[in-house]
A and B are shown apart, each in its own frame.
Chain A
Amino acid sequence: MSLRSKRYLHQKLSDPRFLAAFISSRIGQTIAAQVRVLRQREQMSQADLAKCLGTSQNAIYRLENPRYIKHNTSTLKRVAEFFKVGLIVRFAPLSEIVDWTNNLSETSINVPDLTHDTGFVDFEEPESVEADRIARLLTVNDVNAASGAANAPTSQQRSESLGDPVSTSQDPHRMNVQRSLTNYGASQAPERRGVLANG
């Protein structure tokens, strides 16, 4: 039996005590680990971080305590701003939480800051790639002009029909960027799977 399987959790979450424990443990463990890792990554002590945030060391200690769940949204926002990461505070279907926790990656906990956030890679096209795309679109425009502009596809349709060279996984520049960025916090996580000794 898996403590994290959807079937098991769907059944157990109908028990109010289990539901409360599920929500508390996910909030407590996740926030505690994220704050601790963000701080340790910057080689800061709890006192250092407290000083930077204008709060007490005890407040940081509480944030890093997995049992603490009385988080103040404005404190979390200050932590997010300081480390240049985002903060999501919203209600969500329980299944979404289960999916999120079952599919955790290193960056889910060791959250990349703005400088190392690969989600912005698409906006960092080199000039040569941008020029190539424009050249190809211009060629299509010429064809459209010859056959009548009324039926000219929108720019989005043009991109789709051509196969946007930047958005494909084959684009060598993008792959290089991704490769270099994934070196950040290179994964040495001790497991994707646990191993258990018999007994």
Chain B
Amino acid sequence: MDRFAVELGPEAQNDLAAVLDVLRVLERKFWTRPQFDVLHGKKYKGIGEIRFDGENKTYRVFGYFGPARLQFTLLLGCEKKGPLKHEMDEAAKRKKFAEENPGVLYVFTF
């Protein structure tokens, strides 16, 4: 995530910071479209995507609520070019790994 954020263009980088700023202070019930949406499908249960744009590109950051209350774990960031099945599968894999190994989690400073 750190590398993904740093390598974004100025528009996308600012949009990511702005959307994270907005979402982090909102109750979960206000995490809705267009800034956020949940993924559908049993395989992706509990995973959502933060949406932002920049430089005429659309981006997604996959994550899930947890491990503790009032926490959201960022799993994977990517540009949205067509279906993101591979990235969603990777996010699901990382979620499972993070849940089994909470030691790999660290605070994301953005």
Contact = CB atoms under 8 A, between A and B. Distances in A.
Give the residue among B24, B28, B52, B95 with the most A Cβ atoms within 10 A: B24
Given A29-B22, A106-B26, A108-B25, A191 B15 contact: no
Contacts of B31: 190
Contact of A193 (B10, B26, B107): B107
Nearest to A105: B25
Contacts, number: 167
Nearest to A186: B27
A198 B26 CA distance: 25
B80 interface: no
B24 A197 contact: no
Contacts of A108: 25
Interface string B69-110: 011111110000000000000000011011000001111111
A3 B12 CA distance: 12
A194 B107 contact: yes
Contact of A29 (B10, B15, B65, B105): B15
B20 to A, nearest CB: 7
B27 A2 contact: no
A70 interface: no
Interface string A56-98: 0000000011110000000000000000000000000000000
Interface string B33-77: 011000000000000000011100000000001010011111110
A80 to B, nearest CB: 18
A196 B11 contact: no
Given A64-B34, A188-B70, A194 B110 contact: yes
A154 B9 CA distance: 58
Nearest to A67: B53
A58 to B, nearest CB: 14
A71 to B, nearest CB: 15
Contact of A194 (B13, B14, B24, B25): B24
A197 B14 contact: no
Interface stretch (A33-41, A47-55, A116-124, A165-173): A33-41
Interface of A: 1-4, 12, 15, 17-18, 21-22, 24-26, 28-30, 32-33, 36-37, 40, 64-67, 101, 104-106, 108-110, 185, 187-199
